[in-house]
Structure 1
Amino acid sequence: MAANKLSPIITTDILKTIFDNISENELFVCSLCASMCTTQNKHQLVSTTCGHLFGKNCIRKRLKETGQCPLCLKQLETRRDKQLRTMCLSSVVTIFPFEISRMRDERRRLRMRLNEIKTRLERAKLKLNIKKQDLQIINKKILKHCKRNRLMNNG
């Protein structure tokens, strides 16, 4: 739960903007500030010893404040050369756990809606088949009635 308080909330609009403006060289979103990381300078992509990825200045600031990884809360080495490793990745986007949960909930709702629609479709098909059978019965009665009328008119 503490990780959620430390991470900004990324809306669907922000994610859409990120994905709409992705280039080959910057595709990592820092989970602390929700900004794109770069391959160099202050917001360079780095990894903690526990394997979590952040923008360099964001994680340095956080480590000075708490000494812990913001995501897993593992206590990290305080010496700079021990705590962060420069990453060469240019095609990673973080998705926060609460976003994954939100996506799973949305997928679950969509599946339920799809099942409701499938059920309604099956009911409609059954009603249609019943109506077709009723129509066939009515057509048979009309044909019998027409034949009877012809026989009576000819007779």
Structure 2
Amino acid sequence: MAEINVDSNKRQKIENTQTREVEDEHITCTICSEVWTSGGGHCLVSLKCGHLFVYPISCITRWITERAHKLGDKKTFCPICMKPARLNDIRIVVPIKLVVKDTAEINILKKEVEMKKSKICEYRNALELAQLSLSLSKRELKRAQGTLL
């Protein structure tokens, strides 16, 4: 019975997370899919066309830089509407009110998953050692039976 409660609790957490992800879809970067959070250095920026992105060094800056490098003449475009975009077009957006996603629960669950993966690895290693020991014991048993006959 306890397992059913644990499973239903985990299922509810997953459903709640999925619901939050759908609700938060409008506050994710189109390029890196990162959510604007209270930590991690993501700040909100826009291009001339008005499309919003998060601004870690590796996101919209990299997009524009890579496209300019590939095209050679520094002409690049917004990844959403394809209007011209340059590094100089990036503007930090300072909203009156910005709701950030609290990632504390997700970070705790990620750590829990990593701990479980580590335990699984330990159990696999122990199983391999036990199988090896069993194999050696079987070999010794066959030898001992051979010497008795």
Pairwise TM-score range, normalised by the shorter structure: 0.3 to 0.5
TM normalised by structure 2 equals 0.40
What TM-score, normalized by structure 1, do the two folds share?
A: 0.39
Instruction: Report which of the two structures shows the higher radius of gyration computed on alpha carbons.
Output: 1
